[in-house]
Amino acid sequence: MNSMTHEAPARAGAADGLYRAVWRWHFYAGLLVLPFLIWLAITGGLYVFKAEIDGFFHRELKTVPVARGSMRPHGEVVAAALAAHPGRLLKYTPASAATDSAEVGIATAQGEQLAVFVDPYCAAVLGALSDRGTVAWTIRRLHSLKYFGPVARGAIEIAGGWAILLVLTGIYLWWPRGRSGGVLSVRGRPRQRVFWRDLHAVTGLVVGGALAFLAFTGMPWSVLWGAKVNQWANGHNFGYPAGVRVQVPMSTQRLGDQAPTAWSLEQARLPRSAPDGHEDHAGHGAPPQPAAAAASPQAIGLDAAIAIVEGLGIARGYTISPPRGPTGVYTASVYPDDLSQQRVINLDQYSGRRLIDMRYADYGPLGRWLEWGINVHMGQEFGVLNKVVLVVVCLAIVLLCVSAGLMWWKRRPAGGLGVPPMPADRRALRAVVALLAVGGVVFPLVGASLLLMLLLDALLVQGHQRPAGAA
């Protein structure tokens, strides 16, 4: 009986120590990432309405009056854009609807990349912006901190990884343990700390899964983890997702450098055109034999290439890029909201022969799963419902962060940081750190930030703080 009397307090003490250890690291993670989460939620919630935002701010460039007669040949539309802004054609997006303008991507002689908008019915130039210079693209670059360089993007990657760990530790802290208040209901009034504690806990319960999903599906764009996973997923098949079969000669040019593309295809290598008319199915990148000077090959024109890809049934809204160099190819790509219509078509620039025709269904399981997650993350997979849910989640994330800040402010001692006390038994703290280190291995930048936080905690906090329950 005496041993049982001692075991109960020991178990209670161990549980309390673990709770305090989890609370301590939940606090540190929140302190690190809450400002970033608010930033990501606000900019992400705005970007969900990218089409509506650009339609409002760039209406005079992106739309034309109601259809009046036939559209001009595509070559004439491109020629008009090049006459207004001399340079080299990079890409061309035909009008996808009767009231849409055509968009011509140009590299000018001064090294600037422009998007020139042209009325497809009369080939009149409507105006130009810098490439990806629309308001929606600006919001997207702000969302990823791409404006501020790789160090800032690394901070976003750290925030995304810690957000996942925040959700996991938050679920542990929320767990009822015999409580009823603050589990599914909010107690107290806004002037009381318990109100903000309960609001934070209940909001976290409702949106925690969505926050973890958004954090993980945002990782493919991250500066380190995303690049390495892309390499790992696609590195052994000329940069194509497992499942895509490439059986034509390949160049060293990358799809991501030439045309708009999905994450899974950023490193995909382009096939080669055959200027001598010979098809080498075994060479896979071996240079073709030089053609005789008298039989100089003639490339097909843009209108002919467009007629071929449209004849193959590519979805509207596609972009086509011209060949670069004598072995380059025409590349038509489209990434609409409907994943099943994602497609990339490469044509031999001389014969118009289809070299690669790749769809979402051709990807391997990993590629399909990642692209589906990205599509949901961007609010494109389930129509209006997807957008509404994302906006609600983004607002809830802001509420989650604000309630955490107010809860901390109300418990923070005057002149102190208010770090939750260490558990009396340091083994609980070490156990939690070991579990967090697993996440640090999966996400290396998170692991580096964990080491830094451990160092700062040891140097600046632990020496000035008594363990909970210490005499």
DSSP letter (8 states) at residue 69: S
List % helix, strand, coil for the chain (3-state, nearest 5): 55, 15, 35
What phi and psi values does residue 133 have, to the nearest 5 degrees?
-100, 15
Over the stretch 197-252, which tens digit does the pLDDT of each residue have? 999 999 999 999 999 999 999 988 888 888 888 877 776 678 888 777 778 888 88
Distance CA 62, CA 320 (A): 18
* The two three-digit tokens of residue 343, written as one number: 């497609």
DSSP letter (8 states) at residue 89: E
What phi and psi values does residue 255 have, to the nearest 5 degrees?
-60, -40
Residue 204 CA: distances (Å) to CA of 76, 159, 215, 359, 400? 56, 17, 14, 38, 7
* The two three-digit tokens of residue 399, written as one number: 């509420």
DSSP letter (8 states) at residue 268: P
Q: 429 with 423: CB under 8 angstroms? A: yes
Residue 354 CA: distances (Å) to CA of 268, 271, 280, 311, 332? 17, 10, 14, 12, 11
Distance CA 233, CA 241 (A): 6
Residue with tokens 């000018």: 108
In the CATH hierarchy, which fold is given to the domain comprising 59-133?
A: Nuclear Transport Factor 2; Chain: A, (3.10.450)
Over the stretch 135-192, which tens digit does the pLDDT of each residue have? 999 999 999 888 888 888 888 888 988 998 899 889 988 888 777 777 888 888 888 8
Over the stretch 84-120, which tens digit does the pLDDT of each residue have? 999 999 999 999 999 999 999 999 988 899 999 999 9
pLDDT attached to residue 398: 96
Angle between helices 383-411 and 2-47 (to 10 degrees): 130
- Give the HSE-up count for residue 389: Cα atoms under 13 Å, Cβ half-sphere: 18
Residue with tokens 């764009």: 221
- Does 373 score more than 60 pLDDT? yes
Among 236, 230, 167, residue whose Cα is nearest residue 371: 230
DSSP letter (8 states) at residue 263: G
Q: 163 with 212: CB under 8 angstroms? A: yes
- Does 417 score more than 80 pLDDT? no
- Residue spans of the domains in the chain: they are 2-37+142-222+384-464, 59-133, 244-362
Among the residues of 48-90, which ranges form H helices? Answer: 50-57, 59-62, 74-84
* The two three-digit tokens of residue 50, written as one number: 């990218």
Distance CA 347, CA 262 (A): 19
DSSP letter (8 states) at residue 301: P
| Cα distance between the two ends of the chain | 28
- Does 4 score more than 80 pLDDT? no
Residues 6+ apart with CB under 8 A from 108: 85, 86, 87, 114
CB atoms within 10 A of CB 120: 22
**One-letter amino acid for residue 7 of the chain:** E
Among the residues of 235-337, which ranges form H helices? Answer: 255-258, 302-311
Measured over the CA atoms of residue 385, residue 388, residue 390 and residue 393, the dihedral's sign is negative
Q: What is the pTM of this model?
A: 0.84
Nearest 10 degrees: CA dihedral of 273, 279, 280, 286? -30
Q: 332 with 345: CB under 8 angstroms? A: yes
Looking at the chain, the number of H-run helices and the number of E-run strands are 14, 10
Distance CA 118, CA 167 (A): 48
Mean pLDDT score across all residues of the chain: 85
Distance CA 131, CA 117 (A): 11
Over the stretch 311-350, which tens digit does the pLDDT of each residue have? 999 999 999 999 999 999 999 999 999 999 999 999 999 9
**One-letter amino acid for residue 108 of the chain:** T
Q: 468 with 20: CB under 8 angstroms? A: yes
pLDDT attached to residue 19: 85
